[in-house]
Amino acid sequence: MFSQIIGVLALAGASTAASLQRHDFPASNVTVLSLDKNYNSTGGEGHVAIGGVLSPFGSIGAGCGVNWDNGVAYGGGLQAGSDAFGLGGGFKITPTTLEVGTGFGINPSNSSADVTFTGHTNGTFQLRFSSSSPFACVPSNEEGSNVVVCTTS
């Protein structure tokens, strides 16, 4: 699954900004590059990926997939990319844990951030945020929910 989705991202990165007329608004040629499923009675995966040129973004790629494995886990992932932004993430659910991770890239400034969440059936969980840029977080309480908002300076 991921190799095909990463292939889409490679395609998205293949056309550099220089090779695209930013204000030319070429006709879109985004197509579904793959739409597959592969499974048996115990496990498998399904995914869809798109790619091509889309005005005004330039080359874009996006894909997502799900997978499952009886007695082990189920989960999925998504990826998207263009000249400006990149996004990749995935989740995995086992009988006792939920794991979610997402990475964000802002290409013009070379900045990136990652968020991971891990939760357990015993009620404990952790949220982790990391960033290439300095940021500050403000904790608060909104209508009974504990909230933290982190913003780059």
Ligand X SMILES: *[C@@H]1O[C@H](CO)[C@@H](O)[C@H](O)[C@H]1NC(C)=O
> With binding defined as CB under 6 A, does residue 7 bind ligand X?
no
Residue 52: CB minimum distance to ligand X, A: 4
Taking phi first (over 0 means left), then psi (-120 to 50 degrees means alpha), and beta for anything else, what does residue 18 get?
alpha
Rounded to whole angstroms, the Cα distance separating 17 from 84 reads: 10
Site string for ligand X, 14-43 (x = CB under 6 A): -x-------------x-x--------x-xx
Locate 150 and state its tokens: 């982190």
Pick the closer one to ligand X by CB: 12 or 64.
Answer: 12
Rounded to whole angstroms, the Cα distance separating 72 from 92 reads: 10
> With binding defined as CB under 6 A, does residue 122 bind ligand X?
yes
Tell me which amino acid residue 123 is.
Answer: G
Pick the closer one to ligand X by CB: 18 or 137.
Answer: 18
Return the exposure string of 7-36: e unless at least 16 CB atoms fall within 10 Å of the residue's CB, then b. Answer: bbbebbeeeeeeebeeeeeeeeeeeebbee
Rounded to whole angstroms, the Cα distance separating 96 from 98 reads: 7
Locate 82 and state its tokens: 């263009």
> With binding defined as CB under 6 A, does residue 78 bind ligand X?
no
Rounded to whole angstroms, the Cα distance separating 76 from 32 reads: 19
Residue 6: CB minimum distance to ligand X, A: 16
From 52, 101, 105, 119, residue interacting with ligand X (rule: CB under 6 A):
52
Pick the closer one to ligand X by CB: 110 or 153.
Answer: 110
Pick the closer one to ligand X by CB: 87 or 105.
Answer: 105
From 6, 48, 53, 84, residue interacting with ligand X (rule: CB under 6 A):
53
Q: Applying CB under 6 A, which residues contact ligand X?
A: 15, 29, 31, 40, 42-44, 51-53, 109-110, 120, 122, 124
